[in-house]
Amino acid sequence: MAAIPDHDVVHGADHAHDHHLTGLMRWLTTTNHKDIGTLYLWFSFIMFLTGGVMALTIRAELFQPGLQIVNPEFFNQLTTMHGLIMVFGAIMPAFVGFANWQIPMMIGAPDMAFARMNNWSFWLLPPAALLLITSFFAPGGAAAGGWTFYPPLSVQMGIGMDMMIFAIHILGASSIMGSINIITTILNMRAPGMTLMKMPMFVWTWLITAYLLVLVMPVLAGVVTMLLTDRNFGTNFFNAAGGGDPVLFQHVFWFFGHPEVYIMILPSFGIVSEVIPTFSRKPLFGYSSMVYATASIAILSCIVWAHHMFTAGMPAVGQLFFMYGTMLIAVPTGVKVFNWTATMWRGSMTFETPMLFSIGFIFLFVIGGFSGVVCAIVPIDVQVQDTYYVIAHFHYVLVSGSLFAIFAGAYYWLPKWTGHMYDETLGKWHFWLSMFFFNLTFFVQHFLGLAGMPRRIPDYALQFADFNMISSIGAFGFGTTQLLFLYVVLKCICGGAKAPQRPWEGAKTLEWTLPSPAPYHTFETPPLVK
């Protein structure tokens, strides 16, 4: 019986195969983790711009009261597709791109564990994205009242809804395959001597994220399949007229949906935990507590789903359980924020673009966290449920959270990926413009929500006009600013200054396991030497 070739030989053959091919075939058949990471990142950026155009159409419609640009049905489709594309098409693939690029290099592996499956898990995404976007043109469209597509509305839509369900199945399959690959790579392919508690934080956050994905993606697949059979095969899972329960859908959906929010934020924590020590010239403070906090957040995220449903009718004891559980997540999150702050404390800080985005991330993410605690309090949530306050809250978590961390990671690793330095001045412009326009867009939405403006409406009362105008101006500024990011990246790829061996001058390579060194004393002047 022929001997099975070892992993390195197989991958050597695969990579040689990659290099012989050129043009389109190289990218279609590549099993190289770096090429696949690049594909994920470009795909996510294209989807980010697509979802962004939809968001700008929404904001253009809301620039002033009355119906200006789109009809209400199309407006509903825009809100649905903007959410789905940003979640499944932009944020998640971007983080998988980072994982593909960085994890093998960070743990000393030659490639990902399942190189061909890695290729397949990427190439499922473009057809799924195509299905999602073409559902716009199908009869009825995918206007199922937001990315949560609650029944009974989603049971009554046309064929566009079936296309959307199929797209979600394909996207979920891609996520599960990517996660299995990441878990196997991290657990089985670390360099000798790299124990779990010596791994970089980015690897830890992705290991925990991948377990979450494997746990909750099949739940989403199950609930959309139940929806599909309700629509086409006469079952009555969610049809009250046939003895079903629409609220059951909400429970099953949010059992996926809430961990999903943490799937989009945990890799951000990992990126920020790599960037801040570098530009503080200090090891990460409290490494092991960061690992345990990340795991705690992931576990807690699975038992708080019904805080999305405080207004759906729930016994008081249930409301209290989910309220306290939700508030408890603030504890490990606070540990992380404290550790980042302690890492920067008394460090030799410099403020290159990745560091600016990381500090912006912490500052704005904490605001999003505070508004999340506000939404966790049942009597307040009953008032702000389905208003613009909730929109403001989750955009502070997902835009200034996930997206800012993606920018931080992109600028941080661009010199490693391309061999060139990006334009630092333009990078800083990108940060400050993003920061300004983001807050202009979303901060005023807190006030709109508290004043009672509902979400997902194309028209509104005159009293909301001024804040909506400010929000729309901010949105167009923020959207335009992202074209600057595209320019910076393309300029870098096409040949910025050659990156030195250590691109971040003075940022020495640090052991991840070192505890943060205690100062010799706590005085401003040196103590007397005995």
Residues noted as catalytic: 82, 111, 147, 174-175, 258, 260, 262, 273, 307-308, 333, 336, 455
Which residues have a Cβ under 8 Å from the Cβ of 106 and sit 6 or more positions away? Answer: 199, 200, 202, 203
Task: Determine phi and psi for 143, rounding to 5 degrees.
Answer: -90, 60
Task: Determine phi and psi for 54, rounding to 5 degrees.
Answer: -65, -45
Reference 123, options 159, 171, 72, 158; nearest CA is 171
Long-range contacts of 113-118 (CB under 8 A, 24+ apart): 113/181, 113/184, 113/185, 113/188, 113/189, 114/180, 114/181, 114/184, 115/10, 115/11, 115/14, 115/31, 115/32, 115/33, 116/31, 117/177, 117/180, 117/181, 118/31, 118/33, 118/36, 118/178, 118/181
DSSP for 461-519, please give it. Answer: -GGGHHHHHHHHHHHHHHHHHHHHHHHHHHHHHTT-SBPPSSSSTT-----TTPPPPPP
Cα–Cα distance list, 109 to 101, 102, 105 (Å): 11, 10, 6
* CB-based contact 414:489 (threshold 8 Å): yes
* CB-based contact 121:208 (threshold 8 Å): no
Q: Which two structure tokens, joined as six digits, stand for 202?
A: 């980015």
Distance CA 407, CA 361 (A): 10
Q: Which two structure tokens, joined as six digits, stand for 184?
A: 């196997």
Reference 302, options 268, 263, 349, 341; nearest CA is 263
Residue position matching structure tokens 């167009």: 476
* CB-based contact 506:348 (threshold 8 Å): yes
Distance CA 503, CA 414 (A): 10
Distance CA 164, CA 83 (A): 12
Distance of CA 427 to the CA centre of its chain: 21
* CB-based contact 248:296 (threshold 8 Å): no
